[in-house]
Structure 1
């Protein structure tokens, strides 16, 4: 391996030190050492030979791995992720080998300059702890020719070695973004549990069991760090290979943003409270301080056996509560919330944490005192590592402590239910746990301000997902804010002004009103039909789970329900719902739609959708086992009860039944036969429309045969992408690569439309890609005539459809299918935005 490499200028322009970059994350060196360039050219070039390790979905950033192991991040402009890809056209994909000076990204300099705070482009070495950087160039540099700086590797990772017998060890360089924090640690734990072997991870002279999330986090391993993996036992060699793969498979940190430690926040001299933006947005509201006090916990227990029984019972109950939270989040499509509670579940099952609590009980302490002591001991370890990202995980441990203590001691009266808040509250607290944030009444929360926390912790991720402006790491001064006073919060700019003057309040309200006016304008226009400029009608429906969401969808202008997930009727209970209960719930949805149609999907159980009381077998690979219609056909009484309920809805003319996970015509015909038999028993003369979901490649390839017997086809792009790319959609390390705009998926959509048209059937899309405005042109061009999206996005998608020229989209779709990756597809869509839309 080459120890030293020389970087050449990726852009023409003026070299600046990172300290002059108008962004605290880069300027503070949180992302690594490097430099910046004020650009004078419009093409980003490779600064050295290497392999592309990451291309952002919006095209504004590219990561490159050099021959000596240096990880280089090239980030074009400041806050350019908010441009949604406009102005950037990547010319490389992940895995490409590039030569020094090769084109990486075409930049529309004028477009970006008009909408971004700065064009300053940053080049940082994200694993700079393992590298020695030379003296950087200064002044004006020329792209592709001027030398920027030399980088020398301080050490070379050893090749994997295998010990004799049943003990094996090897080294791996951790590729997870942000290192081994909660979610990557949970992934490693999940991998380790598949094997009988004893597996340990070593770093910096310390070792941790691979089955312990807390232990792994406590090592303080960062991205690019080299760790040693030891495995012993009958399947040690296989286990070692799996762990190496899990460590070296890159995973993104969700919407994580590098956090600036509280001590680095500059004191403002304008009287405003400064902090770190965790979720952008502007708010005017009344300050509400949420005080937190430790609960009184008895130290001595009532005996070891009694206290151990109490602890294990509490852990089991909390496990059920978290699983319920995950299920509810999944029903709402709240992916970030679901993943966060999934990490909490892994922490709850952590053997080292629970063993520590049990040891305290053996020493005579009560279960509550023992669990609190175990949690706080581990929290002190994480806080003492000097790693801001790991320190933020303390909030997750605190959340578990609160949950378990609530079971052991009874719910804390101070925390029962949602707190009483004024109409527009800016909630101020020392810190919040994820479950505390989700308990706040969303309609009354205008913003959140925290003394501690960081922009990459789980509360920040939730705030972004919920659309709540949030400022964190504001320091102790936040807790001295005047409760009840009016305040202006500009989280995007990183400040809160308490007791502002009338002009400041008026200006903030004016800006908020302008944003709301645009949303309202789109909403007011959303009731009408969505016609392209050349007259093609696209039905824009909504994905819902109940009547309340259906009413919200109608208010947002939905043309109907494109997907009603009936799983909500089957979860959170101990037995299956009867036909009458199902009928009443589905009738309420149909009534809420007035004269609009509803597509109601039959039970989609199995795989990652667990219905505890159904006797589904344990499966090594649930995604390829009993799922969707396979489950229903294997349990005919469950299917018959649901079909009976649906056939009693009125009017049947507005009902469309949808079958999930159909793989061939036989599945469809068996269900149609049951509908005919049940309809005859009910004395019905009318039949509802019957459609199938296209979720597996075989269904797309057999679309013509399916369309011969189905009334419509609806594409579930989430699963279709999973099965086409052979990537588990629940696998955190692969989430960043799960893109339904992959050309292989686009080709399957085109095949589906072609097959359906042979029998005059229409095709819709109800997967997540339908809610992506950037994808609308592609889907319209492929011939899709119905898009089912999140209720709140109906106005935006209808607006997007009305801007498009369908004929131009069709030409574009042909080109999209010829691209090599989803990254290239998105770049082409961004570049062609002005061609297909006015």
Structure 2
């Protein structure tokens, strides 16, 4: 459907979870080089037309179709990533170029299993190739079914009109052989267009008697240029020679992902010679432990005779699903209570998967055909896992393991087994691949370490193991599963080694190392309640990040000098109505009471964008991290902030309460809220107001630190957001998360500038982001001028101990030099050299 102002609503061409382009595991699509759009991770085998229009291009390999909608928008529908390499195998195109199609009409069918097993990823794209004339606005970022509303396409105000100047000057030409694997399909074509758009000259490609402008993605793909084809490139205009050379380089250099090499084997496996009695793997969580090896086995089902009563089996499955949902709900409540955010995110995803109609419908269909509930559930999960684990994507492989977790949990409920492994404390657990649920239980049973034949260092299990402090190794290979039960082994996760036949001397050495570590931790804890002074007498306050009064009490018991960040979102999420002023006041007062006589920094509500509240409907945003969040939401809904400020002004004693404002980018935002705070103090008859601080989590705030410090009482640096905004990398992006490192010199320069700006007005600066909890970063932050570090409660003793071994003068001197380094890895290496971790 469309109307006179060229607006168009696209319906979903596939069924499945919706992803923003930034989440697509492919740098060309993710960068937006091909244009605006959205992605779907498909669960069905047919691509449908998202609107009425004309087919203007069909890829020769059948994996992509381009439509021109009636309003002029050109839409590339690209099924899977790197599917061009299948050369049409598994695809059946149902329409021809020039055909008129209706909304919802099937365009192509594909063999789901065959394609999934052979391509990089099934994630499919809907790209607006003439984004200069139109823009795409997502309607939903949740799962969709074919035909449901997906995108609004809106004409840009200038209608995309571009003044075409006639190309003048000498035309230059050259020939080149195409290096891109699969030829000039959509992804390399997008890079060629991007290259050409960097020059004023007009550029064209010429092949087999046809020509196409380098500005036209459709034109370039329509040339049907294959790998190793010889083509001609021409450029005409004021910078024609430079444009030609740039295009020749782009055409003759394969994309990094086009390398014909097999997937790299982890370094720990690839470069080590075979060693008798040792299995090599990848470190997922550090540590060195010894103990008896204990093998965990998955549930194996006997053969199913079939012909079961469908109604009765559906009831059995429903009862088991209800039981598992209840178990996961309990896990989520505990994770939220203790602010285990990684754990919470993982099990929230499990709950969503457990309600996925694709799984439930497949199981119900098998039951209708006479299958037992156990086998129907197992089969529906296995089918999805088979597809996911063949895709070569870490992100999707993790999801397959999450599905296996749900398979095991539901099977246990169906079979009536109590979900309990009889594992002795101190054992080293071996398994093909552990699931998050396994890990939580094993951790409670006191196992010493974990090792897996499969798995990856970025999996959910690895994340949880690091959070629990459990040494963990993955990718040890199938030989792990052949080891005898009960033999004593050494798990050296730091070195990527599982020693199967350690000598008595080696076992004694490992036990001594463990003892040294325990004694060091005990010494740190014994000193945790004394101030953290550097060797030259500089006091650094070590506070705690908390999200409840329970955590505040835990922080005080661990030696916290105060609360450096109380996240108030815990009061607002997972409920149908907002907390009233009284509920908020009681919650804030409980945190102050739990901290004895120490100060508490309370951050005002930081939701919006990607953190939604059910009772506060906000518009869907294409870039939620850059949208209505933090202080911007407070400006849009001043009633919410007013109520929170009133609740804060009622706590006692007010002198121990400090208020922190998130996502500030300019001084006016601070002045506005400071003025409102003063007005509320007057209304309530208060003759003092709490200290008011600003979070430095966007580069603009760091660059304006001096101006903000003139009106703020303190500054607190949130390194997590500051990292992703400075490096332009989403910290949740599967392919980029490991590169979002707050020790990047660019981040350090912003921290240095923040401290220098604050010093002009004699304001103190704290750090409450993850960098504060990294012992390697402690000397750098002290050297740059930070005087407060807010860390996880369990790390207070360790960070205080780190401070006591540092000389602040040397920290200042070396940190200045670190600002001149070129990368985060160079900074980390220099820190290890100057301040080695003991």
Name the TM tier (shorter chain): 0.5 to 0.7
Q: What's 1:743 paired with?
A: 745
- After superposition, the Cα gap between the structure-2 partners of 1:721 and 1:452, relative to the gap in structure 1 and judged at 3 Å, is closer
- Residue 713 of structure 1: SS of its match in structure 2? strand
Q: What's 2:626 paired with?
A: 624
TM-fit CA distance, 1:623? 1.2
- 1:414 maps to 2:420: no
Matches within 5 A, 1:308-319: none
Q: What's 1:219 paired with?
A: 117
Alpha-carbon separation, structure 2, partners of 1:710 and 1:780:
21
- 1:562 maps to 2:453: no
Structure 1 unaligned residues grouped into runs of 5+ = 1-162, 173-193
TM-fit CA distance, 1:454? 6.6
Write out per-residue CA displacement over residues 7-51 of structure 1, whole angstroms, 9 at most, x where no aligned residue.
xxxxxxxxxxxxxxxxxxxxxxxxxxxxxxxxxxxxxxxxxxxxx
Decide whether the 8 Å contact of 2:745 with 2:821 is kept in 1: yes
TM-fit CA distance, 1:689? 1.4
Decide whether the 8 Å contact of 1:166 with 1:236 is kept in 2: no
Q: What's 2:156 paired with?
A: none
Write out per-residue CA displacement over residues 216-267 of structure 1, whole angstroms, 9 at most, x where no aligned residue.
9943557xxxx9999788759999459978996889xxx9956869xx9989
Q: What's 1:723 paired with?
A: 725
- 1:574 maps to 2:454: no
TM-fit CA distance, 1:762? 0.9
169, 186, 199: which one aligns with 2:79: 199
Alpha-carbon separation, structure 2, partners of 1:387 and 1:198:
18
- After superposition, the Cα gap between the structure-2 partners of 1:783 and 1:616, relative to the gap in structure 1 and judged at 3 Å, is same
- Residue 735 of structure 2: SS of its match in structure 1? helix
- Residue 691 of structure 1: SS of its match in structure 2? strand
Matches within 5 A, 1:491-640: 494-495=497-498, 508-640=510-642
Q: What's 2:287 paired with?
A: 281
- Larger RCO (CA within 8 A; separation ≥ 6): 1
Name which of structure 1's ranges 585-594 and 686-695 shifts more when overlaid on structure 2: 585-594
Number of equivalences: 635
TM-fit CA distance, 1:468? 1.1
Alpha-carbon separation, structure 2, partners of 1:702 and 1:452:
49
Decide whether the 8 Å contact of 1:629 with 1:661 is kept in 2: yes
TM-score by length of structure 2 reads 0.61
TM-fit CA distance, 1:764? 1.0
Q: What's 1:817 paired with?
A: 819
Q: What's 2:97 paired with?
A: none
TM-fit CA distance, 1:807? 3.0
Q: What's 1:757 paired with?
A: 759
- Residue 197 of structure 1: SS of its match in structure 2? strand
Structure 2 unaligned residues grouped into runs of 5+ = 1-53, 64-73, 93-107, 137-185, 195-253, 259-263
- 1:376 maps to 2:382: yes
- After superposition, the Cα gap between the structure-2 partners of 1:370 and 1:766, relative to the gap in structure 1 and judged at 3 Å, is same
Write out per-residue CA displacement over residues 329-356 of structure 1, whole angstroms, 9 at most, x where no aligned residue.
8984655x57866987997899987886
TM-fit CA distance, 1:279? 4.1
Decide whether the 8 Å contact of 1:695 with 1:715 is kept in 2: yes
Q: What's 2:778 paired with?
A: 776
Larger radius of gyration: 2
TM-fit CA distance, 1:400? 3.8
Q: What's 1:690 paired with?
A: 692
TM-fit CA distance, 1:596? 1.9
Matches within 5 A, 1:60-209: 165-168=56-59, 197-201=77-81, 202=83, 203-204=85-86
- After superposition, the Cα gap between the structure-2 partners of 1:248 and 1:619, relative to the gap in structure 1 and judged at 3 Å, is farther
Alpha-carbon separation, structure 1, partners of 2:450 and 2:459:
14
- Residue 777 of structure 2: SS of its match in structure 1? helix
- After superposition, the Cα gap between the structure-2 partners of 1:414 and 1:705, relative to the gap in structure 1 and judged at 3 Å, is same
Decide whether the 8 Å contact of 1:424 with 1:445 is kept in 2: yes
Decide whether the 8 Å contact of 1:605 with 1:627 is kept in 2: yes
TM-fit CA distance, 1:540? 1.7
Decide whether the 8 Å contact of 1:324 with 1:572 is kept in 2: no
- Residue 628 of structure 2: SS of its match in structure 1? coil
Alpha-carbon separation, structure 2, partners of 1:504 and 1:784:
43
TM-fit CA distance, 1:321? 6.3
693, 701, 704: which one aligns with 2:703: 701
Decide whether the 8 Å contact of 2:603 with 2:660 is kept in 1: yes
Q: What's 2:653 paired with?
A: 651
